[in-house]
Amino acid sequence: MANYLLKNHIAVIAICNPPVNALARSVRAKLYDLVKKAISDSDVEGIVVCGSNGIFSAGADISEFSNNKAGLFPTIYDIVMQLESSNKVTLAVIDGIAFGGGLKLALGCHYRLSSTNARFSFPEVKLGILPGAGGTQRFPRVVHLIEAAKWITSGQEHSAYQAHEIGLIDYFLTNNLLDKSMNFIKEIINQSQNLDNRRISKLAVKCGDNIESEIVSQSKVLGKKFRGAVAPLVCWHAVLCGSYATYDQGVLFEKKGTNMLINSDQSKALIHAFFSERMSNKWKLRGEFDFRSQTPLPIKSVGVVGLGTMGRGIVITFLINGFCVYAMKQNKYALDQGINYIRKVLGKEKSNDNKMDFLSSLLVPVNLYSGLQDVDLVIECVYESMELKKKILRRLDAVCKPSTILATNTSTLDIDQLAHATSRPEKVVGMHFFAPAHLMSLLENIYGKMTSPEILSTVMHVGKAIGKNSVLVGNCHGFVGNRMYATYVAESDFMLEEGASPQEIDTVLCKYGFPMGRYQVSDLSGNDVGYKIKESKGLTKKQQPPGTSETIRNQTRYSSLPDLLVEAGRYGFKSNWKGWYDYDAKTKIPQTSPFVTNLINEYRNRNGFIPRKISEQEILERMLFPLINEGFHILEEGIASRPSDIDVVWLNGYAWPRHTGGPMYYAHTVGLPHVLDVLQKHWKMTGSTQPHWKPR
Ligand code: COA
């Protein structure tokens, strides 16, 4: 829980609760006792607080939020106060991670040192709470109030360099952290400094004269980012207290905020999201194999075939995570273009020139398949065509060493058919990345009938190594995410037919918490993408016999509106900023398009739709409930093994608002009986023409 060592009159207290030194109640109790012991021991001149196993602390034990143990004595605040009020010098020595409560302990100490690779964060807001234990009040007394507010409202991680730059840590050290810290604290003790200058709660808040205007402009920026999440707002106000209230008043506000948030629905949903993401790594397959029963194969080099948007993003992802990447494109010009783009993005990401050189040394451009013969894993990312993908997998099969894993980045195609195109179907697997692959955190790993558990274990492990939230899913059209997304798209287009406008639908979705509505997303990613898929199935009007209805295909309801939009050349951003909306090319702000309004009106007239006003509630339910229903189908078929895996897919691949926990969690919060009622109502009205309403 925590260890105590007396060395040269310095008490070294090391937090010890693997894997991340979370401050569970038992850890806090031990820490409290040890700090008390050090303070009362006349042989002790100074106190060092550090963490064991290369980690300071990841903060409060999140699992204690649901059983209220987090609030029991001694709280993190009690220990912070002990450390701060000590008349002996206290020094936090930070290695690895100082997150949340860990960082608050460090702020309780009179001095802070860290290793160069340490990371710092107040991630509480991501769990729907605020940094209690005085965190919101101490932090703006060490760093500028606006900087403190940015850290606390975003929950983002920061490096030791950044922490040092803003004054959070006093020094950072490259090596021998603990030994050097002992020298440091000894020097401080010898200088007999007035510790009152180091007790953060006694200091003034750091804000300049023009703080009011800074607050106003930040309020505007932050307000837009929060999108319905309550915790960032409360965090913002708690930090602002520093600009007009005393420390004690600020702590009181912080306590009230904590009490309000800790049991809120949003916090529960966010904690569900946190644990779901960890749970998805603990994959299982047909009750026979799981993450414990398999050992992943070592993967050192990765081949990527195809350097379009997807391929480039995948190359960047592997490079920045230290893999050697063979980027393959047969056409020399396209290869150069792809490599230049990748280098440009890496240049933006680099923290220094050495790192850039190192990343570049990991990148090997190749224009022949034979260049991929020795890679451990190869991912093909060419466009969505069964024939093309089969052809490429066959060629890879012929040139790659027998142990190479052949992965396909298909978003919809049948993994079994692709696997059977090769002589090693047990080594063929789907790795479905989301664009832009170096920014989106989801990876759907798809197993076919023949994929071996060892290969699954390997790709799940690779997913973690490249910082993705990986979810293991079964093989079906669209897998988990895109299969559910199809209902979302279909139902919104039906509402356009019935009277809603793209703006109305998008506004409801943004109000719910999505960063963009369905039509804005489509314009961004290209309306032609969906069109090509429909074309590949022969569904567009020009592929149908003359006289075919615009609203029916294969006896089910169909909307031709998106097809007409694409046929009019409105692909979205890529076609001169014209899609469902007209965009201002500079601001990218969507404006109602008279062309689209006209297109929709004429379509309604032609097909006998009498437009009606569709309420916000109806829009939201029709967008979300069929998708949730599809989630239940997916569970029933065993395509996903747990509801929480589906939530992870949507939270990380489709920007589902995190504070509502993901679609399956959300269904429980609105009540399954209500979801069922709505499904039944629509199923009765639409019958077999809209099968996505059929309740499970
Ligand atoms: N409380 C309880 N358990 C925690 C925890 C915390 N604060 N932080 C991490 N864990 C657990 C995880 O659930 C996981 O458990 P599991 O192995 O049973 O699945 C394990 O510790 C390892 O975490 P993981 O996230 O898989 O490891 P990582 O090395 O990728 O990341 C952290 C480590 C600390 C960066 C990451 O876990 C994190 O951000 N934790 C949350 C920190 C936080 O929010 N603290 C403030 C709490 S108010």
Q: How far apart are CA 219 and CA 211, in angstroms?
A: 12
Spacing, Cα 217 to ligand 1 middle (Å): 34
Q: In the prediction, which pLDDT does 350 show?
A: 52
Q: Strand pairing partners for 406?
A: 378, 428
Residues 385, 386, 388, 389: is their CA dihedral positive or negative?
positive
**With respect to CATH, is domain 2-262 assigned 3.90.226.10?**
yes
CA angle at 385 for the pair 382 and 387, rounded to the nearest 5°: 105
Query: In sequence order, what are the residues at sequence separation of 6 or more whose Cβ sits closer than 8 angstroms to the Cβ of residue 406?
Result: 378, 380, 393, 396, 397, 400, 422, 424, 427, 428, 429
User: Can you say how many angstroms the Cα of residue 546 is from the centroid of all Cα atoms in its chain?
Assistant: 47
Tens digit of pLDDT for each residue in 496-510?
A: 999 999 999 999 999
Spacing, Cα 397 to ligand 1 middle (Å): 39
Q: In the prediction, which pLDDT does 696 show?
A: 79
Closest approach atom of ligand 1 to CA 55: 34
Q: In the prediction, which pLDDT does 486 show?
A: 94
Spacing, Cα 20 to ligand 1 middle (Å): 6
Q: In the prediction, which pLDDT does 354 show?
A: 66
Write phi, then psi, for 581 (nearest 5 degrees).
-120, 165
Tens digit of pLDDT for each residue in 230-240?
A: 999 999 999 99
Paired tokens of 627? 């998708």
For domain 294-477, which architecture applies? 3-Layer(aba) Sandwich (3.40)
Measure the N-to-C terminal CA separation of the chain; round to a whole number of Å.
47
Ligand 1, atom 26, residue with closest C-alpha? 278
Paired tokens of 506? 């998008």
Q: In the prediction, which pLDDT does 218 show?
A: 76
Ligand 1, atom 34, residue with closest C-alpha? 58
Ligand 1, atom 18, residue with closest C-alpha? 278
Of residues 176 and 214, which shows the higher confidence score? 176
CA angle at 380 for the pair 379 and 385, rounded to the nearest 5°: 150
**pLDDT band of 689, cuts 50, 70, 90:** confident
Q: How far apart are CA 413 and CA 479, in angstroms?
A: 9
Probe target for ligand 1 pocket from 62, 67, 120, 156, with the most ligand atoms within 8 Å of CB: 62
Domain residues of the chain, as ranges?
Answer: 2-262, 294-477, 500-611
Q: In the prediction, which pLDDT does 426 show?
A: 97
Candidate ranges 178-182, 210-214, 649-653; pick with highest mean pLDDT: 649-653
Q: In the prediction, which pLDDT does 356 show?
A: 73
Averaged confidence pLDDT in the chain? 94
Query: In sequence order, what are the residues at sequence separation of 6 or more whose Cβ sits closer than 8 angstroms to the Cβ of residue 118?
Result: 56, 94, 95, 96, 97, 98, 159, 160, 163, 172
Q: In the prediction, which pLDDT does 203 show?
A: 94
Q: How far apart are CA 364 and CA 550, in angstroms?
A: 49
Closest approach atom of ligand 1 to CA 100: 46
Ligand 1, atom 22, residue with closest C-alpha? 19
**Phi-psi region for residue 576, left (φ > 0), alpha (ψ -120 to 50) or beta?**
left
Closest approach atom of ligand 1 to CA 63: 2
Spacing, Cα 644 to ligand 1 middle (Å): 17
For 90-111, what is the mean pLDDT? 97
Residues 294, 337 contacting (CB under 8 angstroms): no
b/e sequence 306-325, b meaning 16+ C-beta within 10 Å: bbebbbbbbbbbbbbbebbb
Distances (CA, A) of 356 to 157, 352, 435, 530: 21, 7, 23, 37
What is the chain's percent helix, strand, coil content, to nearest 5?
50, 15, 35
Q: Which residue has the tokens 């101490």?
A: 138
Ligand 1 binding site (Cβ under 6 Å of any ligand atom): 19-20, 22, 58-63, 97, 99-100, 123-124, 127, 278
Spacing, Cα 60 to ligand 1 middle (Å): 10
Tens digit of pLDDT for each residue in 562-576?
A: 999 999 999 999 899
Tens digit of pLDDT for each residue in 397-439?
A: 999 999 999 999 999 899 999 999 999 999 999 999 998 899 9
Q: In the prediction, which pLDDT does 68 show?
A: 81
Q: Name the DSSP class of 209.
A: T
The alpha-helical segments, DSSP class H, found in 74-125 are: 76-85, 101-108
**pLDDT band of 192, cuts 50, 70, 90:** confident
Q: How far apart are CA 562 and CA 539, in angstroms?
A: 12
Q: In the prediction, which pLDDT does 353 show?
A: 60
For 153-182, what is the mean pLDDT? 92
Q: What percent of the chain has pLDDT over 90?
A: 83
Q: In the prediction, which pLDDT does 109 show?
A: 98
Tens digit of pLDDT for each residue in 111-160?
A: 999 999 999 999 999 999 999 999 999 999 999 999 999 999 999 999 99
**pLDDT band of 43, cuts 50, 70, 90:** very high
Q: How far apart are CA 156 and CA 120, in angstroms?
A: 8
Q: How far apart are CA 428 and CA 438, in angstroms?
A: 23
Q: Poorest-confidence range of 7-21, 335-349, 671-685?
A: 335-349
Spacing, Cα 197 to ligand 1 middle (Å): 34
Closest approach atom of ligand 1 to CA 155: 44
Q: In the prediction, which pLDDT does 242 show?
A: 83
Q: Please tell me whether the overall predicted TM-score, pTM, comes out greater than 0.85 for this model.
A: yes
For 178-203, what is the mean pLDDT? 92
Ligand 1, atom 28, residue with closest C-alpha? 20
Closest approach atom of ligand 1 to CA 127: 44
Ligand 1, atom 31, residue with closest C-alpha? 20
Ligand 1, atom 12, residue with closest C-alpha? 278
Q: What percent of the chain has pLDDT over 70?
A: 99
**pLDDT band of 219, cuts 50, 70, 90:** confident
Spacing, Cα 164 to ligand 1 middle (Å): 24
**With respect to CATH, is domain 500-611 assigned 3.65.10.10?**
no
Ligand 1, atom 40, residue with closest C-alpha? 58
Q: In the prediction, which pLDDT does 349 show?
A: 64
Q: How far apart are CA 291 and CA 152, in angstroms?
A: 35
Q: How far apart are CA 89 and CA 10, in angstroms?
A: 10
Spacing, Cα 277 to ligand 1 middle (Å): 10
Spacing, Cα 545 to ligand 1 middle (Å): 58
Residues 568, 599 contacting (CB under 8 angstroms): yes
Closest approach atom of ligand 1 to CA 65: 48
Spacing, Cα 21 to ligand 1 middle (Å): 9
Spacing, Cα 96 to ligand 1 middle (Å): 13
Tens digit of pLDDT for each residue in 350-366?
A: 555 667 778 888 999 99
Query: In sequence order, what are the residues at sequence separation of 6 or more whose Cβ sits closer than 8 angstroms to the Cβ of residue 660?
Result: 266, 269, 512, 513, 666, 669
Q: In the prediction, which pLDDT does 82 show?
A: 98
For 76-93, what is the mean pLDDT? 97
Tens digit of pLDDT for each residue in 261-317?
A: 998 999 999 999 999 999 999 998 877 888 998 999 999 999 999 999 899 999 999
Spacing, Cα 472 to ligand 1 middle (Å): 21
Q: Strand pairing partners for 572?
A: 578
SS3 track for 315-367: HHHHHHCCCEEEEECCCHHHHHHHHHHHHHHHHHHCCCHHHHHHHHHCEEEEC
